[in-house]
Amino acid sequence: MTVYAIIGGTGLTQLEGLTIHEALPLDTPYGAPSADILRGSYAGREVLFLARHGQPHRIPPHQVNYRANLWALKQAGAKAIVAVNAVGGIHAAMGTGHFCVPHQIIDYTSGRAHTFYEGDLEHVTHVDFSQPYDRQLREGLVAALRAENAAFSDHGIYGCTQGPRLETAAEIARMERDGCDLVGMTGMPEAVLARELALPYACLALVVNPAAGKSSALITMAEIERVIEQGMGTVKAVLARVLSN
């Protein structure tokens, strides 16, 4: 049976309904993960849960130890990963409260430890990253969103920026020219590290604000938190459907 791991981002530092059997304070060759890996049951299935930004929410996107997080999940027995991400909307279809299951990603980050294949290697390894997200997992998320009657897009290009600051309007305009539909700060190197560990990986993105320059209103954390609170019910229902299927 596939053991799913859920990586919770901003707004999902805890998974309501998760019956915790044990907390695993794992160590890895890359240091400690963001928080203990929680092993439990959710929607009748064994599941692993990790709060990407720590518990409490304290680790900014550029300082998340992505290598330790992915290594620890693999070590704990994960066979597939669903990542939940709060993002900004660039494309007109990606309005506040909209969900997206992205199919592609562009990496604008810098200075992040982004591979396991470095140091004293016996040989150079390249992984195929043409399709960064697992097709079967994406289809499961799309089916679950459809069953929940959620407003969603079944594809999109996620642009990952460095953070922790939000982007300038000019940067968003450039990303839009590049084809990005969404902007976030945690999609990379998480996705490619999962690929290097041969872990199927997909993203469930919730649009929590218009990207810079896409609205005349000021982007505030209070508004972002309000949208997250409204959207988390759907996130949890979608996760339950994916797990139970």
Query: Any binding-site annotation on 147?
Result: no
Query: Any binding-site annotation on 94?
Result: no
Per-residue model confidence as pLDDT tens digits over 14-42: 566 778 888 888 899 999 999 999 998 88
Query: Any binding-site annotation on 53?
Result: yes
Half-sphere exposure at residue 119, Cβ-oriented, CA atoms within 13 angstroms: 7
Burial of 11 (0-12, 13-18, 19+ CB in 10 A): buried
Closest CA to 87 of 232, 238, 204, 234: 204
CB 187 within 8 A of CB 158: yes
- List, as one string, the DSSP characters of 171-229: HHHHHHHHT-SEEESSSTTHHHHHHHTT--EEEEEEEEEEPTTS-SSPP-HHHHHHHHH
- Tokens 């490619």 correspond to 192
Work out the pLDDT band at 232, boundaries 50, 70, 90.
confident
Alpha carbons 140 and 38: distance in angstroms, whole number: 23
Q: Which pLDDT does position 10 carry in this prediction?
A: 63
Per-residue model confidence as pLDDT tens digits over 39-96: 988 878 889 999 999 887 789 999 999 999 999 999 999 999 999 999 999 999 999 9
Domains of the chain: 4-115+129-244 (3.40.50.1580)
Query: Any binding-site annotation on 52?
Result: yes
Query: Any binding-site annotation on 209?
Result: yes
